[in-house]
């Protein structure tokens, strides 16, 4: 047996050992890459943008770029793994176009240093990482600007909605004060020579205003028909006029229905105070989810367009109130036929 024959088994054994180490190295590299990928996925935005994290990510990405060529048998292997590109994406996310191009350049320099790869492979990888980093940085910048604009629009809409709610609340307060307090004060002034009547009106108004301020129910009724009955009875008692009520159908009270009842109260009150008629007719009808109320008098009529700006009864307590609740108010008036006010609203979905 010659020395050459003896060396062959030894060389074969060493090759097997080296191959075993290479497989172990490959497994270790994959484990490192997956572990770091999981850490990246679990990290928050602030962590991903911190310098210790970015440097560690660049180190892991660079090592996974170099390692395949080091562990391949006979020094072979190519630099074409996708994990280094994830490092480029992380830097592009953190710093936009500059971060993507810078990290792409670093990883590309590693790609170009691999003598085991064909030159065309190294050049292709270098272009992919630099160009990919720039494009990814541009894309992240566009997404950030879009997100920033979306947040600005949402904030603007939220402010507009809050202002609209405040405006509606102010209008509701003004309408309520007109419907109750101001009208009661006008009645007190009109009946100043009747002390008992003035005292009764004052006590009634105090009780109503206190209930309204502290959230107590203004109406004892639980349905539209009952609420309209209370309203008509109250106006009859306060203004000493006749109010005829006819209702077709009934429904529970909700915010929209309560607004309709309040607008009806104001319409009947105005008819009793200003029309000159001794009787007012109220007709309410349910048509599916829609509610229609007609308030009619045979009085002198009026021109809605000629009402002064400071008179809030028709403009805010009737028309404005119905519009704020998605409804409508139609006024038909003439000196020959009197006045008809049609109120329409849709009940809230249950």
Mean pLDDT of the chain: 77
Report the pLDDT value the prediction gives residue 304, as an integer from 0 to 100: 77
Split at pLDDT 50, 70, 90, the class of 2 is very low
Q: CA distances (Å), 195 to each of 199, 308, 312, 331, in order?
A: 6, 32, 29, 37
Average pLDDT over residues 326-342: 90
Q: How far apart are CA 121 and CA 63, in angstroms?
A: 18
Confirm whether pTM is higher than 0.75.
Answer: no
CA distance linking residue 300 with residue 281, whole number of Å: 15
Give CATH 3.30.565.10 domain extents, the chain: 219-350
Q: Can you tell me whether residue 223 is helix, strand or coil?
A: strand
Strand ordering across the sheet containing 338-346: 242-248, 279-287, 290-297, 338-346, 328-334
SS3 content of the chain, % helix, strand, coil (to 5): 70, 10, 20
Residue range 219-350 in CATH 3.30.565.10:
yes
Whole-number Å distance between alpha carbons of 144 and 137: 11
Please give the structure tokens belonging to residue 158.
């939220």
Question: Positive or negative CA dihedral for 223, 229, 230, 235?
Answer: positive
pLDDT at 251: 92
- pLDDT tens readout for residues 147-175: 889 989 988 888 888 888 777 777 767 76
Out of 10-24, 43-57, 273-287, 332-346, pick the least confident: 10-24
For the segment 57-70, what is each residue's pLDDT rounded down to a tens digit? 777 777 776 665 55
Tens digit of each residue's pLDDT (9 = 90 or more) over 215-272? 444 566 789 999 999 888 888 887 788 899 999 999 999 989 998 998 998 899 888 8
d(C-alpha 39, C-alpha 56), whole Å: 11
User: By C-alpha distance, which of 290, 307, 299, 300 is closest to 344?
Assistant: 290
């Amino acid at each position: 047996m010659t020395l050459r024959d003896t060396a062959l088994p030894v060389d074969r054994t060493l090759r097997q050992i080296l191959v075993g180490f290479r497989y172990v190295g490959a497994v270790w590299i994959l484990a490192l890459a997956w572990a770091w990928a999981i850490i990246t996925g679990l990290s928050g935005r602030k962590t991903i943008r911190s310098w210790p994290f970015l440097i560690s990510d660049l180190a892991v990405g660079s090592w996974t770029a170099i390692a395949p060529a080091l562990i391949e048998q006979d020094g072979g292997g190519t630099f074409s793994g996708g994990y280094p590109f994830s490092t480029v994406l992380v830097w592009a996310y953190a710093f936009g176009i500059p971060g993507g191009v810078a990290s792409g350049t670093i990883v590309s320099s590693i790609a170009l240093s691999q003598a085991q790869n064909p030159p065309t492979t190294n050049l292709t990888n270098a272009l992919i990482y630099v160009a990919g980093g720039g494009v990814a940085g541009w894309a992240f910048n566009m997404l950030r600007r879009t997100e920033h604009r979306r947040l600005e629009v949402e904030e603007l809409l939220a402010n507009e909605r809050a202002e609209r709610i405040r405006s509606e609340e102010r209008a509701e307060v003004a309408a309520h004060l007109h419907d109750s307090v101001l009208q009661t004060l006008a009645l007190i002034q009109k009946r100043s020579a009747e002390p008992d009547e003035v005292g009764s009106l004052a006590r009634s108004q105090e009780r109503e205003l206190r209930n309204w301020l502290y959230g107590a129910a203004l109406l004892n009724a639980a349905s539209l028909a009952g609420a309209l009955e209370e309203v008509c009875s109250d106006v009859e008692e306060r203004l000493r006029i006749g109010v005829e009520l006819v209702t077709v159908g009934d429904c529970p009270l909700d915010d929209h229905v309560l607004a309709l009842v309040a607008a009806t109260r104001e319409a009947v009150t105005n008819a009793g105070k200003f029309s000159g008629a001794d009787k007012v007719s109220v007709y309410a009808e349910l048509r599916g989810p829609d509610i229609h109320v007609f308030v009619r008098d045979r009085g002198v009529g009026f021109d809605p367009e000629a009402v002064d700006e400071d008179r809030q009864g028709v403009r805010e307590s009737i028309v404005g109130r119905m519009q704020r609740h998605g409804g409508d108010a139609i006024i038909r008036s003439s000196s020959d036929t009197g006045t008809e006010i049609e109120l329409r609203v849709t009940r809230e979905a249950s």
